[in-house]
Structure 1
Amino acid sequence: MFAMFGVTGCSSVSPYFSQNVYTDAMYGYVLNDSLQFVHKTFGDVEFETDRRKVIRSVPKNIRPVDNILAYGTTGQSPIYRYYILLDSKKEWKDRPINVYVKDSVTDGHRITFLFVVRDSVPDSDMGFIVQNVGYGKDFRESFVSLEESLNDCFRFSNKYLACLDKIDAYPEGSERDRFFKLQMQLTFSSFMGTNTRYKELIKEYEHFAVDSLKRKKISESNNAGVSWQEEIMAVAKDEKLVMFNENHFYPNHRTAVTELLPGLYDIGFRYLALEALEYDENDDINHRDGLKIEDGFYTREPRFIELIRKAKSLGMTLVSYDNPEADGNRERIQAENIYNKTFLDDPEGRTIVLAGISHIFETEDRKGKKWMASYFKEKYGIDPVTISQTAFNNYHEDVEGAVLFDSASLGPEYSGIGAYVRYPWSTNIFRAGSIDLRRLNLPFID
């Protein structure tokens, strides 16, 4: 049963407070087995576990507050904090304008959500938080995240249409839910080759604003007869390490790298390091024919399969390097694994890397985060050529083929390190601190 406490001059926490268990994944959860209670919230909400700090956190103008079961604060905009009260006796006829109260009664128990905000809380946020409460014998099954519900699909399933149907049926609780759901829809639809559903989803995803001046410059650009393959070969011919990035649900990015592999092999590149490969210390994939579904998740996509087949047919060594089970800084560990599997035993070797969007950034991002390419350069003294394919996706309809253009013509924000370029579907060639920053745009591949 839920405990009931009388209102006194001081705020109080529920005696069940210490039995809460907090989990942090795509979403945050508060679970309490004794109460058979679960609450699902946004992933940036941090819950306080010290009861004294919880009591001290209650604003003076709303004290006392009784029976606080949980107290959390958001870590990003919109900024607010909220309390979950169980069987509170307090009435909220008069309250400050920055305090919102949402009450519900279920199975005879009063559950109160008390929001304290700086400015305002979007109705969608409050609705999502208030609705995501479960209790009773099946409480643990009440709110399973989309990510958790797709565990079987992520592991070893090739039933992509069934997985897509499962995603489609998942109820959307908020804008964040909708965006993650869209990414999963794009991922699994991309696994099924060229299809109408994927194209429709891409249009929905690419709803971000475009810059008319940049669009005009891109449309007017030409590569003066130099192919994008030749441009990259010219940059890579004297380098030991070339890093490409990709958006995981844009198969075109793999197609571009596949087309480049023969030329890169001819100029001496022998290793292909793939973030998407399931981490294997011995990289058994190099010692057998064919691929297994266990070799990775994104590697099940047809164009990724073609990339791997092309590399193996050329005689390249495949390298897995992203080990999610390793303790420590993921970016640093990625750099170490690539180095240990390539340059450590083959100092004169030459390596190609295909990584997720941000991992090839050579400088810290705006939040001060350092990425894999930066660690590589800092620790091993090897300055990678970093080629981003994740810029200017929204302009792919403005060109008929690959287009090279000088980034300086796009404005000063593009004249420095490419780590801050976040637009989808093109390729940028850049070096940290380089003045001559070149970018090329790859066309939409039907």
Structure 2
Amino acid sequence: MSANIAAADKPAQNGKTVGDHDTPPVADIMVRWRAEGRRGAGQCRLMPGVTALIGPSGGGKTSLARFIAGIEKPDSGQIRIGGKTVFDSQQKLWVPARKRRIGYVPQDPTLFPHMSVEQNIRFGLKLSEARLGHLLTELDLKGMLNRRPARLSGGEARRVALARALASDPALLILDEPTAGLDALKRRQMLQLVATLARVTAVPTLFVTHALDDMLSIADRAILMSDLQILRSDTLDSVLDDPVTPEVLGLDDAGTLMSGTVTERGAGLISVNLGGARLRLPDHGDPLGQEMRLRIRARDVGITTGSTDGLSILNCLPAKVKRLTSRQGINHGNTGGEGTDPERTSETDVILSLTGTELTLKARLTHASVERLGLAPGMTCHAMIKAVAARGAIIAAVDLPPED
């Protein structure tokens, strides 16, 4: 292995990647290519679990996925999968797709039209009959094995393509925009299915998407791409915390990502334990013991230094100011009138330590609000959480009074 790939946990170009030194990587990628007069470049490392490859449309995600799968060849670089080199431009090495042990499911599944569902799935079968039976059960395909692809819905065809990819016993599964074009219900079902399969089969998965909600629902790690460049490859929390992420994805702010467990329910609410802190959210039927991933936008966190008695906020958590960081933002509520640019305003990111936990929470306030509250490191306060995103949707919101 060359020094370039061995050092894949170091930055390349403008991107950043972080290695997991205790766990062998699934793949190491360092590639350069040209497309429509633009140059693409970057390096990243795939680890066990689900990795979201996210970025705006036209950013190079599908190209990178096809390079890894062996469907297209980059201009230069190296790709290693499962400890074996499958592409090395200096050594003129190229291992074709059929020999890479990769299950690739494109956005528009291409099933053999003259074959039944079962024949499609068995094409290239390497699983035992017992494992195949379990797979068909998980994908709810046993009732349609005799159908032809022409009689399948779009969602059914994707499930068949997914089954065919997994039946080949891949070392890596690549899913290119598997939720594109699905309605909200089928989208949630597909995300739940991918998460379940990743857990049951333990096959590392690269999930290509442009949707933040998809990434938040199932990913352990993320690769951020834009304009054919790999900008960041790291844990999901670290990528979300990178200031470039909201800009690339067109977000107001990335906020804080937390994981918790449903511990109680009653009066139309559930309690989610976040490792000491407790959030109360509307009850949408999540069972007790269910793990939930929550995203709290920095702009949805208010701060009070006074009494919380009488406040209508559902979630008001004791905290301490850890640090303050000034930044420049835009006052979206004051554009200065038609034809003028939005007014730029000074904002401050306030990092809070939640009392009795090891958790931190980010709040984004105007500079005027920080001065009015007299916030400083070490000060005790309460974090007032106005809204929480979970399951890909905002599920709890209580308005705060407007800031002075």
Both structures adopt the same fold (TM-score exceeding 0.5): no
State TM-score, norm by structure 1. 0.23
Whose RCO is larger (CA < 8 A, sep 6+)?
Answer: 2
Whose strand proportion is higher, 1 or 2? Answer: 2
State TM-score, norm by structure 2. 0.24
Whose helix proportion is higher, 1 or 2? Answer: 1
